[in-house]
């Protein structure tokens, strides 16, 4: 049994398992020690010193890296500690760009909040020389402004430990330390996968998505443009957080209403294209299995994962499904099927995708994701950008009625909805592949073995006479681990789902930013995924091949899954990319 250690924190006696840090133990005592660089499970380095406590030792100690000892007496709130924390904040502020009014993170900034909580006023106590930096905005996805950076290293930990990409790090020394890529190369010159996990962990405004909101406003105001929008599954599971709704609230209907009020000419749904992806991908899987194609087949919806594969595991490119990601499929159909139906010139159509993802911004710029010189998708904005636009437009989001999506490319089944959570694509694919292989309909559609937030999930699924061995991973570090095992011959699968971000798209790099103090208590991935699984549960239709609009588009336009036309519009190819860009 775990040994329990008794100690006293601010006069409260608590018992915690051996190895617990004072910071974790303090929660049990009902005490909130301020933190800044600490991020549960991701960064525990004691570098910002904000969590200093008094244990009677010669010096104050950082609670986030201090293990408890028996009968330790900890004080977290004394005049000296409060003063020490204020001085630390003043020192950080002495080299911080304090243009808070125009900062993207104003009112959602952990540094700003600490200053307010701890009574730091103008932040000029140690005014002096400040480091000067150039803003790196060369990446289509991520912008770094080091004048705001407090060198907490949370982004470094996310990039290196969570994703095993490691294209940023602390460089230099002392006052000149900065977070950068080797040789101060732009992020766009590195093997960065654009996942944006660095953004979601940044406590301040040093990292943010490339803002494309003004471009969208510009298109919406242009009478010569027919502007079509499509939100991804995961957006509806998190957008409500930006308007004060509890995490895990599904806001599908209000989101559709808001998009319509913003002035989009058609409000379609990427969930429709998720169903379509299943039709194409399940067909591809059945074809690979029956005709001796390359296995395991690996899903291709996540552009962060795709770029990771191209840079770090190019030997697995033949394993990638040739399916474009859902929003790219939707875009391709808007500019062909929909344009034809409406008698519109595809040149006059603008497709805007609302995504939980920063990597989608890069993906949309891939030259191969286009048709006749027109990109499938013109602009990608993140969930955060959509929230900003809704606020800018003065739309009272929480007061909106629930509305539906527009016909033709807007209807979806429960299978399409769960694409936003890890395991969702696998589950959706199995529901349809079962029918494709056996000719029968599946009774129980719930493949619970592939749900949940564990890094690697495995299952063997009985499909008729076939035993289909599947694996589901989320985060690229877990993908790397799994692929290493496959490469070494230790593991053998038929089908693998990879989502580039931990927990899948619900926890994507474009989703609302959650304060470290909240992340310490709740699992974002589980809470947001619940919204999607509940929506799936509530749908009458939960299998992609039963979606009436899907049936219609094959009857009227595409012919059958993997047809010549489907291949031209809905499938793509990949590129081997170097690990170190030259």
Respond yes or no: is residue 368 known to be catalytic: yes
**Buried/exposed code over 253-292 (b: 16+ C-beta within 10 A; e: otherwise):** ebbbbbbbbbebbbbbbbbbbbbbbbbbbbbbbbebbeee
User: What is the total count of residues that contact other proteins (CB under 8 A)?
Assistant: 14
**Contact partners, residue 357, CB within 8 Å, separation at least 6:** 195, 196, 232, 302, 303, 304, 380, 382, 501, 505, 508, 509, 510
- Spot the catalytic one: 15, 315, 368, 454: 368
Range 116-175, binding other proteins (CB under 8 A)? 156, 160, 166-173
d(CA 143, CA 433): 41
Smallest gap from Cβ 180 to other proteins, in A, equals 9
Return the DSSP state at 397: G
Q: Residue 7: is it exposed, middle or buried by C-beta count within 10 angstroms (0-12/13-18/19+)? A: buried
Q: Is 281 a known active-site residue? A: yes
| Catalytic residue (choose from 284, 328, 427, 497) | 284
Of 178-186, 406-414, 489-497, 569-577, which part binds other proteins (CB under 8 A)?
178-186
CB of 579 to other proteins, least distance (A): 8
C-beta of 67 vs 166, nearer to other proteins: 166
427 flagged as catalytic: no
Q: Is the dihedral of CA 256, 339, 327, 553 positive or negative?
A: positive
**Smallest distance from the beta carbon of 150 to other proteins, in angstroms?**
17
Annotated catalytic residue within 301, 309, 323, 357: 301
CB of 130 vs other proteins, minimal distance in Å:
20
Sign of CA dihedral 289, 290, 293, 299: negative
> Does the annotation mark 539 as catalytic?
no
CA 531 – CA 248 distance, rounded (Å): 5
Half-sphere exposure of 33 (CA within 13 A, CB side): 31
Distance CA 26, CA 9 (A): 7
Tokens of 61: 């100690």
**Which residue number, 38 or 312, has a Cβ lying nearer to other proteins?**
312
Residue placing its CB nearer to other proteins in the complex, 165 or 570: 165
Q: Binding of other proteins at residue 488 (CB under 8 A)?
A: no
CA distances from 364 to 29, 374, 380 (A): 49, 11, 7
Residue of 302, 321, 325, 336 with catalytic role: 321
CB of 129 to other proteins, least distance (A): 17
Residue 169 beta carbon to other proteins: minimum distance, rounded to whole angstroms? 3
* Pick from 230, 533, 546, 537: nearest CA to 405: 230
The residue (of 158 and 329) whose beta carbon lies closer to other proteins is 158
451: number of Cβ within 10 Å: 20
Give the shortest CB-168-to-other proteins separation in angstroms. Answer: 6
Place of tokens 């770029």: 307
Q: How far is the CB of 311 from other proteins (least distance, A)?
A: 12
Of the pair 103, 167, the CB lying nearest other proteins is at 167
Site string for other proteins, 179-218 (x = CB under 8 A): --xxx-----------------------------------
301 carries an active-site annotation: yes
Q: Which CB atom, from 160 or from 287, has the smaller least distance to other proteins?
A: 160
Choice among 254, 360, 457, 543 that is catalytic: 360
Q: Which is nearer to other proteins, 189 or 527 (CB)?
A: 189
Examine the residue annotation and report whether 176 is marked as an active-site residue of this protein: no
Q: Which of 224, 261, 256 is nearest to 349 (CA)?
A: 224
Instruction: Give the C-alpha separation, 439 to 77, whole Å.
Output: 67
CA–CA dist 407, 430 (Å, integer): 26
CB nearer other proteins, residue 220 or residue 480: 480
Question: What is the contact surface with other proteins in residues (CB under 8 A)?
Answer: 156, 160, 166-173, 181-183, 580
Please give the positions annotated as active site.
Answer: 281, 284, 301, 321, 360, 363, 368, 505
């Amino acid at each position: 049994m775990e040994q329990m250690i008794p100690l006293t924190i601010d006069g409260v006696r608590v018992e915690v398992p051996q190895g617990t840090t004072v910071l974790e133990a303090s929660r049990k005592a009902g005490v909130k020690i301020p933190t800044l660089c600490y991020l549960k499970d991701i960064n525990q380095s004691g570098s910002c010193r904000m969590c200093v406590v008094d244990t009677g030792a010669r010096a104050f100690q950082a609670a986030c890296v201090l293990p408890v000892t028996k009968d330790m007496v900890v004080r977290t709130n004394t005049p000296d500690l409060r003063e020490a924390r204020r001085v630390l904040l003043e020192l950080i502020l002495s080299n911080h760009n304090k243009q808070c009014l125009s900062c993207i993170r104003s009112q959602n900034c952990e540094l700003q909040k600490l200053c307010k909580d701890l009574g730091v006023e103008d932040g000029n106590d140690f005014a002096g020389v400040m480091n000067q930096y150039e803003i790196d905005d060369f990446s289509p996805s991520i912008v770094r402004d080091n004048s705001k950076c407090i060198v907490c290293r949370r982004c470094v930990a996310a990039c290196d430990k969570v994703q095993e990409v490691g294209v940023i790090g602390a460089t230099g020394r002392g006052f000149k330390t900065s977070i950068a890529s080797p040789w101060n190369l732009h992020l766009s010159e590195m093997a960065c996968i654009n996942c944006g996990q660095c953004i979601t962990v940044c406590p301040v405004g040093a990292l943010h998505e490339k803002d494309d909101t003004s471009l969208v406003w510009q298109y919406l105001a242009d009478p010569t443009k027919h502007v079509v929008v499509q939100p991804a599954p995961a957006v509806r599971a998190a957008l409500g957080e930006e308007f004060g709704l509890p995490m895990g609230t599904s806001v599908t209907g209000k989101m559709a209403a808001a998009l319509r009020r913003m002035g989009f000419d058609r409000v379609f749904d990427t969930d429709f294209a998720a169903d379509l992806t299943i039709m194409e991908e399940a067909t591809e899987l059945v074809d690979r299995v029956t005709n001796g194609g390359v296995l395991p087949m690996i899903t291709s919806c996540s552009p962060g994962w795709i770029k990771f594969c191209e840079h770090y595991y190019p030997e697995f490119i033949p394993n990638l499904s040739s399916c474009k990601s859902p929003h790219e499929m939707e875009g391709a159909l808007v500019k062909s099927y929909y344009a034809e139906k409406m008698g519109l010139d595809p040149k006059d159509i603008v497709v805007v995708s609302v995504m939980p993802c920063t990597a989608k911004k890069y993906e949309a710029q891939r030259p191969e994701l286009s048709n006749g010189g027109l990109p499938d998708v013109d602009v990608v904005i993140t969930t955060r950008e959509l929230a900003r636009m809704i606020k800018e437009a003065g739309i009272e989001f929480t007061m909106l009625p629930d509305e539906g999506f527009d016909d033709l490319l807007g209807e979806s089944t429960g299978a399409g909805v769960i694409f936003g959570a890890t395991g969702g694509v696998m589950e959706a694919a199995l529901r349809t592949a079962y029918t494709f292989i056996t000719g029968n309909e599946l009774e129980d559609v719930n493949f619970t073995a592939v749900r949940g937030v564990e890094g690697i999930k495995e299952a063997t699924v009985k499909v008729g006479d076939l035993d289909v061995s599947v694996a589901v991973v989320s985060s690229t570090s877990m993908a790397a681990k799994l692929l290493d095992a496959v490469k070494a011959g230790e593991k053998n699968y038929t089908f693998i789902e990879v989502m580039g971000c931990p927990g899948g798209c619900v926890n994507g790099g474009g989703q609302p930013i959650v304060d470290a103090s909240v992340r310490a208590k709740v699992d974002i991935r589980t809470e947001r995924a619940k919204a999607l699984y509940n929506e799936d549960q509530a749908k009458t239709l939960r299998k992609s091949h039963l979606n009436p609009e899907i049936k219609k588009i094959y009857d009227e336009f595409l012919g059958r899954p993997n047809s010549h036309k489907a291949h031209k519009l809905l499938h793509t190819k990949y590129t081997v990319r170097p690990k170190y860009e030259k």
